[in-house]
Amino acid sequence: MPTSLEDVRVLKSVEQIADAIYRIASRWDDFAKDVVGKQISRAADSIGANIAESFGRYHFGEKIQFLYYARGSVFETKYWLNRASARDLMPSADSQTYVTRLTDIARQLNLYIASLKGQKSGEITVAKTVKESSVEYLASRLPENFPDVLFDETDLAWLEAPP
């Protein structure tokens, strides 16, 4: 769990996308800026603003609600990226790159929300990967009276018998 707002990696990614979209939209003609540019810039900025606001909230319910708002703004931004591409304001390859990055951000938000819900309910969240420090297993640690053969032929004969 991040300890400060600056530690929220998803926020850093969102800021990069929002700034890039703003720079692109600021170069459009007045009509395109007014119809699409302002909307797409507001939607992209709203993602990060809601993540930041969620971080400043104390209660889990409030935190989660603002993360839901952020996720909604992700989808709004994707909508406006599609409009910008369809209206030849942005190359479709660029639009698709941002859409793909925003899809990843939506997944990160979902994981963050699930983590907060787990903390709220007192559940222990299980990591997706488990890492175990390497341990050297030595045969010399076995007791002295440990047999050389664990199972002999008679112990295993029942496996070969027909049913």
CA count, 13 A, side-chain hemisphere, 12: 7
Residue 37 has pLDDT above 60, yes or no: yes
User: Does pTM top 0.75 for this prediction?
Assistant: no
The helix, strand and coil proportions of the chain, stated in percent and rounded to the nearest 5, come to 70, 0, 30
> CB of 67 within 8 A of CB of 50?
yes
Burial class of residue 135 (count of CB atoms within 10 Å of its CB; 0-12, 13-18, 19+): exposed
Residue 38 has pLDDT above 90, yes or no: yes
Q: What is the pLDDT of residues 39-88, one digit of tens each?
A: 999 999 999 999 999 888 888 889 899 999 999 999 999 999 999 999 99
The domain 5-121 is placed in CATH, from the list 3.40.50.280, 1.20.1440.60, 3.40.50.970, 3.40.980.10, at 1.20.1440.60
Q: What is the pLDDT of residues 118-134, one digit of tens each?
A: 776 665 555 555 555 55
Residue 117 has pLDDT above 60, yes or no: yes
